[in-house]
Amino acid sequence: MPISGFPEWLPSQRMIEQFTLDKIRSTFELYGFAPLETRAVEPLETLLSKGETSKEVYLLRRLQDTADAPAKGEDQLGLHFDLTVPFARFVVENHGKLQFPFRRYQIQKVWRGERPQEGRYREFLQADIDVVNRDTLPFHFDTEMPLVIGDVFRSLPIPPVVIQVNNRKVCEGFYRGLGLADTGEVLRTVDKLDKIGPEKVAALLVETAGATDAQAAACLKLAEISASDGSFVDRVRALGVDAPLLDEGLSELLQVVETAGEHAPGLVRAELKIARGLDYYTGTVYETQMRGYEQHGSICSGGRYETLASVGNTRFPGVGISIGVSRMLGLLFKQDALSVSRSVPTCVVVALPSDDQRAECDRIAAALRKRGIPTEVAPTAAKFGKQIQFADRRGIPYVWFPGSPSTVKDIRSGEQVEADASTWMPPAADVHPLVTGV
């Protein structure tokens, strides 16, 4: 029986997922990101030190291990809830073997024990890119992240996306300029705007962050600012708050918006309510929404971090962004917004005239496969009409009839022509299943 929050796709959906992953992987590699895979488990202490709550981390233990505590000398282990924390740990452990700046992509499952809902799972696939450097990381890497992600999404048959960007320095500088000391609490509270609304956020700011009503109102004014060009800078200035960190953040955010606007107009929007919940972000933050699916929140997010990884006095600052592959596809599958031209990879079914001709049919199939044509032999020597039905039910476009000469039939049009298995090629569009948006 199904387990809530642990999706299992049908073969046709899995083919769409693999198509999506191929597009993601190839785009990441076009930008020079190298592949990496890290272990699924991390010490619990590592996971909980990076901003995730203990109730969302899945613990790992052996069935025979009845003790609550791990054995002496062993760490308590949990499944990773994102790919950034294990990546930072990997960098620390392997920094002597890596060339910096280090650009990597990682496509793996992660686990998060939150309440399952539409597009939100407990086991899901993420596709991450990060750039880390030793000691300092030039800011231009922050401007590159949206460009990579924009190219990924344009390569997929999905609705247009908008990458919402902010910079925590803008928020923290503004809060400090207002006289609010606990900027972390203010950030976490403002990050709840979409969930609980401005009135409750204002009340929480007074209650938990020590804000006055006027300070809370100013925080909400900042969060209302949204622009797809540099006009947000003047709107922030008009609020009358001054702080060096605010100036630095506005300058950085402007670079991200202007660079993206030149590369892909309309891709990026400055959205000053975006904060991101995880504690390790220190500068630029990103969240991405699909048009028509905004009510489901972000499908791609990330940001800048300065202190996530360090060895002694050496820091490894980084910036990264993560595509929630399962989240995105789950939402699209729910609306039947993606389709694939057939439910199997097969392009050609070799008809089987009789069981004693199976070896000959296998040779034909092998000749077609040798040239990259996905082929299978019919499972039984039934009437040709049934063998054609076998192909048609699966969306397979061609049936090959052995003989002297052999013929191949396009069962969609009914056209049948003589063919040689060593030379015949279907149209390029038929070789592999086609994924399209609806």
Q: 3 lies in a domain?
A: no
Last residue of a domain, one of 339, 359, 377: 339
What pLDDT score was predicted for residue 65?
Answer: 66
pLDDT level of residue 195 (50, 70, 90 thresholds): confident
Question: Residue 383 above 90 pLDDT?
Answer: yes
Same domain, 99 and 153: yes
Same domain, 155 and 53: yes
The strands making up 407-410's β-sheet, listed across from edge to edge, are 375-377, 348-350, 398-401, 407-410, 416-418
Same domain, 63 and 110: yes
Identify the top-confidence range among 17-26, 211-220, 290-299: 17-26
Report the distance separating Cα 328 and Cα 298, nearest Å: 9
Question: Residue 177 above 90 pLDDT?
Answer: yes
Report the distance separating Cα 325 and Cα 106, nearest Å: 12
User: What pLDDT, in 10s, does the model give residues 258-304?
Assistant: 999 999 999 999 999 987 766 788 999 999 999 999 999 999 999 99
Q: Please state the rounded mean pLDDT for residues 187-210.
A: 89
> How far is Cα of residue 53 from the mean position of the Cα atoms in its chain?
22
Same domain, 297 and 320: yes
Report the distance separating Cα 42 and Cα 89, nearest Å: 9
Q: 416 lies in a domain?
A: yes
Q: What is the domain-level CATH number for residue 388?
A: 3.40.50.800
Question: Residue 184 above 90 pLDDT?
Answer: no
Q: Please state the rounded mean pLDDT for residues 326-332.
A: 97
pLDDT level of residue 47 (50, 70, 90 thresholds): confident
Place of tokens 């700046």: 101
Listed residue (339, 429, 423) closest to 158, CA to CA:
339
With beta carbons less than 8 A apart as the criterion, state whether 17 and 36 touch: no
pLDDT level of residue 66 (50, 70, 90 thresholds): low
Q: Is 322 left (phi over 0), alpha (psi -120 to 50) or beta?
A: beta
Last residue of a domain, one of 339, 367, 398: 339
* Rounded percentage of the chain residues whose pLDDT exceeds 70: 96
The secondary structure of residue 373, as a DSSP letter, is: -
Same domain, 333 and 404: no
Question: Residue 97 above 70 pLDDT?
Answer: yes
Q: 37 lies in a domain?
A: yes
pLDDT level of residue 169 (50, 70, 90 thresholds): very high
Report the distance separating Cα 320 and Cα 417, nearest Å: 53
Q: 241 lies in a domain?
A: no
Considering the chain, what is the average pLDDT of its residues?
93
Same domain, 377 and 300: no
Question: Residue 85 above 60 pLDDT?
Answer: yes
Q: 251 lies in a domain?
A: no
Residue 58 known to bind ligand: no
Residue 75 known to bind ligand: no
Same domain, 24 and 77: yes
> Which region among 83-87, 118-122, 220-224, 321-325 has the lowest average model confidence (pLDDT)?
118-122
Listed residue (316, 284, 315, 290) closest to 302, CA to CA:
284
Sign of the torsion formed by the C-alpha atoms of 285, 289, 295 and 301: negative
Instruction: Label residue 151 exposed, middle or buried (CB < 10 Å: 0-12, 13-18, 19+).
Output: middle
Last residue of a domain, one of 339, 357, 376: 339
Question: Residue 218 above 90 pLDDT?
Answer: yes
Residue 281 known to bind ligand: yes
Same domain, 149 and 39: yes
What pLDDT score was predicted for residue 70?
Answer: 58
* Rounded percentage of the chain residues whose pLDDT exceeds 90: 81
Q: 22 lies in a domain?
A: yes
- 318 has which bridge partners? 132, 305
Same domain, 42 and 72: yes
Residue 315 known to bind ligand: no
Number of domains in the chain: 2
pLDDT level of residue 53 (50, 70, 90 thresholds): low
User: Could you please report the per-residue DSSP string of 96-149?
Assistant: GG--SSEEEEEEEEEE--S--BTTB-SEEEEEEEEEE-SS---THHHHHHHHHH
Report the distance separating Cα 58 and Cα 283, nearest Å: 29
Residue 82 known to bind ligand: yes
Same domain, 329 and 368: no
Residue 175 known to bind ligand: no
Same domain, 320 and 404: no
User: What pLDDT, in 10s, does the model give residues 133-167?
Assistant: 999 999 999 999 999 999 999 999 999 999 999 99
Question: Residue 50 above 80 pLDDT?
Answer: no
Q: What is the domain-level CATH number for residue 328?
A: 3.30.930.10
Look up the domain containing 305 and give its range. Answer: 11-160+291-339
Same domain, 48 and 69: yes
Q: 111 lies in a domain?
A: yes
Residue 363 known to bind ligand: no
> Which region among 48-62, 73-87, 353-367, 402-416 has the lowest average model confidence (pLDDT)?
48-62
> Which region among 176-190, 318-332, 371-385 has the lowest average model confidence (pLDDT)?
176-190
Q: Please state the rounded mean pLDDT for residues 46-57.
A: 74
Q: 190 lies in a domain?
A: no
Report the distance separating Cα 431 and Cα 371, nearest Å: 11
What pLDDT score was predicted for residue 360?
Answer: 97
